[in-house]
Amino acid sequence: MMHAAPAEAKTEMTRLRLRLRGAVQGVGFRPFAFGLAARYGLGGFVRNDAQGVTLEVEGAETANYVAALRRELPPLARLDAMEIEPVALRGDKNFVIESTRSGPARTRIPADAATCEKCLDDLFDPSSRFHLYPFVNCTHCGPRYTLTRRLPYDRAQTSMAGFQFCADCGRDYADPANRRFHAEPIACPRCGPRLSHSPMEITSALRAGKIVALKGIGGFHLLCDASNAGSVTRLRARKNREAKPFAIMVANEASVALFAKPRADELELLRSPAHPIVLVESLRKLPDAVAPGMARLGVMLAYAPVHHLLFHAAGGARQIHERNLAQDFALVATSANPGGAPLIKDNAEAREKLADIADLVVTHDRDIVVRADDSVMQFVDGAPAFLRRARGFVPEPIDLGADGPSVLACGGHLKATLTVTRGREAFVCQHVGDLSDAETFRFYGESAAHLLRLLDVKPEAAACDLHPDYLSTRFAEQSGAPVLRFQHHAAHVAAIGAEHGVTGALYGAALDGHGLGEDGGNWGGEALRLDGRGGFARLGHVAPLALFGGDRAAREPLRMGIAAFAALGRLDEAAGYFAGKAEAAQLAKIFAARLAPATTSLGRLFDAASALLGFAERQDFEGQAAMRLESLVRAPHALHGGYVLRAAIVDFAPLLAHFIDARPDARDGAELLHGTLIEGLGAWLAASAKPGEKIALGGGCLMNRILAEDLAGLLRDKGFTPLLAQKMPPNDGGLSLGQAALARTVLMAG
């Protein structure tokens, strides 16, 4: 019996149109799409457009193409949305990369990214034309936002416009199969920027104990040998930074373990494309002057080619296969911003303003368009969280979940940022700083103008704080747009809701240092319910303490320590308790003679406890005393009866009385403080909450990892869903995002 051969299955030809939105321009997406099409034998095209990327693929493997596209995105790419539409066959056999279509700017620039492994291979390969070239980059790494003047993102719109391609770089730039296809900052020693000093000269100066100002990606760093106590102390004196911790830069992952004990998740964050500073447990192998009194150390990996070259020189110019070996040479790397001014980015300004700080000023001839400090992060409650959001993350947007009006939100006065919304996205600028400094306020205005120009939007409203004296408020008033004002702590809660995609009403707590209340008072420990229409209700607060001296009380914990005695009705004991402080008796007399405004601030409660536990010195930086207490905690435990709940007010007076009467040592006191605050705040928040609801936790005190993690855990155990800041800092760095979310709600409600 004969059997007929089975007929071959017919392969169905299809053509799909894909519209992609997200981080898909300037990240090597078009050559990636081109390579995938070659793999699956497909024809069609890919092009950038005003909304992102549009591509069409035709052939028998279009479904496999789409699956691979989702699965194998380039390192810096991110898909926020992909629309897929079948279209008519056109018979295309080849796949081509088309030029950009015109239209209003609706795309975005990717954030700066650390040098990738392939570029490091080139950097240390003697046969590469990029050998030891301190500006090597490709589509997967290098500067983006910090060198872009305007959109669309192409070389003519960046500070690389004045550098003409050599033949080799021009060929790489035009070749879709090349890793440097349309890498806008591409250059080599023949045609690109140059350093003013060689890496060997720089490293020799550092080894000799000198302080070096080095121009990098987002501005100048001040560098010194982290192991040289004399150099670190001189840097502190010259920069007028008495005690605020410095971060260190190390050569590679293996080197981190010589100075700290990173967890696996912390190592993963360190090596992410942003290469942020990450707080990790310190081994205390470096001089105490690096991070005085701190249990954790800020660590970052070398992220620019010039950094790798410094460590390469320090290691005796080791070969490529040795670059991942541990190296005990570490650098203090701190922002070059003398006197609280913004980060310096220009060569002439560096030579003028850093001459009294740095022994050597190293420049290069590629302009920095947008200054950006290093981002600072930690892990909180199992997730990465920001202490400062800047290089490596800005200007990546936060998805607000739905389209809405464009708003300019102006943030606060300290740790200032601005937010511009466009469609469903919120773009938060890099950390700006304290607006009291004139140069910083100028930088703030530049940041607003740059963001609005890049996004090509005209805001329908300017949102700001209630405080009339904040320069950010005045900036909003002078913007020309209608002004919407929002209470400080309502904006903190709204910021947490915005990044978690919460719409409508939201219950939460804002725990921080200061914010003007609707009653004109000094708030800072608030339980609030947002109504989903831009308003809120104050449901409760931390019991008030006297705030004698206003802003001075935030800098001098002794004042809050005396306020604790006053709250307990024991003011006559204060001078004796603080007998070692000459000014204590005089301050106690002034307290007794004058009325002082009250504050519900949890930050000032921390200061009061710090003073009672022996940390009454003037604070060199905001939160210093509280950070030292956090560093002492190993296992927080609550004082029985250490707080009282009454009428939605949580009062920690019993804890303060215990500190005065029992005089625990600093460690036991720090553990009692944290444990009692966590238990008391948890009970207080649960009392005003609805069963099982989400509770947003915002404000600067949530930068305290122990407080944030254990309070979230306690609320979780009580059946609630705590929401913590992850995409923005919980402090005033996230305030503008909350203002923007509230303003959109008001505008959309009509």
What integer pLDDT is reported at residue 3 of this predicted model?
Answer: 42
Query: If you average pLDDT over every residue of the chain, what do you get?
Result: 93
| pLDDT bucket at 110, cuts 50 / 70 / 90 | confident
Q: Could you say which DSSP state residue 374 is in? A: B
What is the average pLDDT across 500-512?
Answer: 96
Contact by Cβ (8 Å): 31, 183? no
HEC letters along 466-521: CCCCCHHHHHHHCCCCCEEEECHHHHHHHHHHHHCCCCCCEEEEEEEEEEECCCCC
Is the pLDDT at 106 greater than 60? The verdict is: no
Is the pLDDT at 692 greater than 60? The verdict is: yes
Helices within 95-134 (DSSP H only): 117-123
d(CA 544, CA 567): 8
d(CA 251, CA 329): 8
Is the pLDDT at 81 greater than 60? The verdict is: yes
- C-beta atoms surrounding 417 within 10 Å: 29
Helices within 43-198 (DSSP H only): 62-71, 117-123, 167-174
pLDDT digits 0-9 by tens, 306-363? 999 999 999 876 655 578 899 999 999 999 998 778 999 999 999 999 999 999 999 9
Bigger pLDDT: 639 or 78?
639
| pLDDT bucket at 101, cuts 50 / 70 / 90 | low
Contact by Cβ (8 Å): 66, 16? yes
Percentage above 90 pLDDT, the chain:
84
Percentage above 70 pLDDT, the chain:
96
What integer pLDDT is reported at residue 2 of this predicted model?
Answer: 40
Is the pLDDT at 491 greater than 80? The verdict is: yes
Burial class (CB in 10 A: 0-12, 13-18, 19+), 204: middle
297 Cβ neighbours under 8 A, 6+ residues apart:
245, 247, 248, 259, 260, 279, 280, 281, 282, 286, 290, 291
What integer pLDDT is reported at residue 5 of this predicted model?
Answer: 41
What integer pLDDT is reported at residue 10 of this predicted model?
Answer: 54
d(CA 649, CA 256): 45
Is the pLDDT at 532 greater than 60? The verdict is: yes
d(CA 156, CA 172): 17
- C-beta atoms surrounding 265 within 10 Å: 13
Question: Domain locations in the chain?
Answer: 14-97, 199-377
What integer pLDDT is reported at residue 100 of this predicted model?
Answer: 60
Q: How far from each other are the two terminal CA atoms of the chain, in whole angstroms? A: 82
**CA nearest neighbour of 166 among 143, 182, 180, 187:** 187
The token pair that represents 272 in the structure block: 């992410």
- Please tell me the CATH code under which domain 199-377 is placed: 3.90.870.10
750 Cβ neighbours under 8 A, 6+ residues apart:
none
The token pair that represents 151 in the structure block: 């959109």
Contact by Cβ (8 Å): 38, 30? no
What is the average pLDDT across 604-632?
Answer: 92
Task: Kindly report the length of the chain.
Answer: 750
Is the pLDDT at 4 greater than 50? The verdict is: no
**Cα–Cα distances in Å, from 237 out to 82, 132, 234, 243, 725?**
54, 34, 5, 10, 34
Is the pLDDT at 107 greater than 70? The verdict is: no
Measured CA angle at 317 (ends 315, 320), to 5 deg: 100
**CA nearest neighbour of 724 among 375, 279, 381:** 381
Range with lowest mean pLDDT among 39-48, 97-106, 116-125, 726-735: 97-106
HEC letters along 14-61: EEEEEEEEEECCCCCHHHHHHHHHHHCCCEEEEEECCCCEEEEEEECC
Largest CA distance in the chain: 117
What is the average pLDDT across 396-404?
Answer: 93
Q: What three-state secondary structure class fits 545?
A: strand
HEC letters along 547-615: CCCCHHHHHCHHHHHHHHHHHCCCHHHHHHHCCCCCCHHHHHHHHHHCCCCEECCHHHHHHHHHHHCCC
What integer pLDDT is reported at residue 228 of this predicted model?
Answer: 98
- Please tell me the CATH code under which domain 14-97 is placed: 3.30.70.100
The token pair that represents 365 in the structure block: 């001839």
pLDDT digits 0-9 by tens, 226-283? 999 999 999 999 999 999 999 999 999 999 999 999 999 999 999 999 999 999 999 9
Would you give the distance in Å from CA 517 to the centre of its chain?
A: 27
What integer pLDDT is reported at residue 421 of this predicted model?
Answer: 97
